[in-house]
Amino acid sequence: MQNRRKFLKYGALIASASIAHPLASFSIPPNPIQQDKLVPRALKKGDKVVIISPAGAVYDNTKIKEFKNTLVNLGFVVILGKSVSEIYGYLAGTDEERAADINEAFADKSIKGIFCTRGGWGCARILDLLDYKSIAENPKFIMGFSDITSLLICIQTKVNLITFHGPVGLSSWDPFSVSCFNNSTMSGYKNIFPCRREDNVLALSPGIAQGELIGGNLSVFVSLIGTNYLPDFDRKILFLEELNEEPYKIDRMLMQIKQSGIFDKLAGLVFGVFSNCETENISQSFPLLEVIKHHVLPLNIPVIFNAPFGHTTKKWTIPIGALAEINADNLSLELLEPSVLV
């Protein structure tokens, strides 16, 4: 299969960077096991792409038209999935209808990319209705975030296809986000995702490590724990973001990750934007950052906090399944392999 890539073993330790920090810098090698992964073809102008609604309903059809125009302005030929504007309670059509849109999009060889209108809730309901054999035979670009997390992680786990955590139709497509999208999905470069300290991005724990990227929305991620839709987390770099959850709820979800044993396997952690996740009554709570430190500081792995992804205006487009290097010393995340085939 032309889109199948074999990545060779990585062996030697990566030398730790020297920094002025009270903790020693350290480095973790990537998973040395040879892997055979599916890499989608790079998108290009003129490609036919489809918009689907695999989760929550879109109650204002003008939003769908605006999203279609955004993608047209990026140079794509855009079609709409059959259930994209359906309303079935809080869902965009029945489970069978939404799953059919995904299966048809992957099976249609003329379609080169799959975009989602929004998150909300609903992707987990259709995971057992997807045709993973067809997806593996027709690997292609698919992107979203928030509730789309479960869809992206599941597809990456089941068929080893790189998927993309990035903007949806109801989120912003500002110049920063568009630039990151283009770099990740159209250029084929080994991208560097820089952070700036002036943007309040912090290194919570120093060091450099390599591993495959996995993650998305925190609450959706923890809902998959205990299912067969999560991969082995050995030497993975986990990235997480959240919206509208108070610190005690973040604490509870991070504790679930800890007690599941996932934290003990990781090479690194990247926290994105946790929008509206501080409590109003700080006298009766820990600050969010302190809660996160409770869980991550004992891990002795590199940790970055407040990177630009999640429910925020400026968003990275992050390839789930791609090998990357986290460098908490200079606040960067760098791909070690292209996330698309040019």
Active site residues: 146, 241, 311
**Strands 4-7, 35-38: pairing kind:** antiparallel
Whether the CB-CB separation of 327 and 302 falls below 8 Å is answered with: yes
Strand partners, 219: none
Cβ atoms within 10 Å, residue 21: 13
What value, to the nearest 5°, has the Cα angle with vertex 143 and ends 270 and 217? 40
The torsion defined by the Cα of 164, 270, 223 and 244, in degrees rounded to 10, comes to -100
* Alpha carbon distance 189, 204 (integer Å): 28
Q: How far is CA 228 from the centre of its chain?
A: 18
SS3 312: coil
Under DSSP, the state recorded for 298 is G
288-296 helix and 247-259 helix, angle to the nearest 10 degrees: 10
- By CB neighbour count within 10 A (0-12 exposed, 13-18 middle, 19+ buried), where does 74 fall? middle
Tokens 């109801």 belong to residue: 170
Number of Cβ atoms within 10 Å of the Cβ of 152: 29
H or E element, residue 65: helix 61-73
Measuring CA to CA, how many Å separate 16 from each of 28, 177, 202, 299? 9, 31, 19, 17
232 SS3 class: coil
Please name the amino acid found at residue 94.
T
Pairing of strands 318-320, 163-165: antiparallel
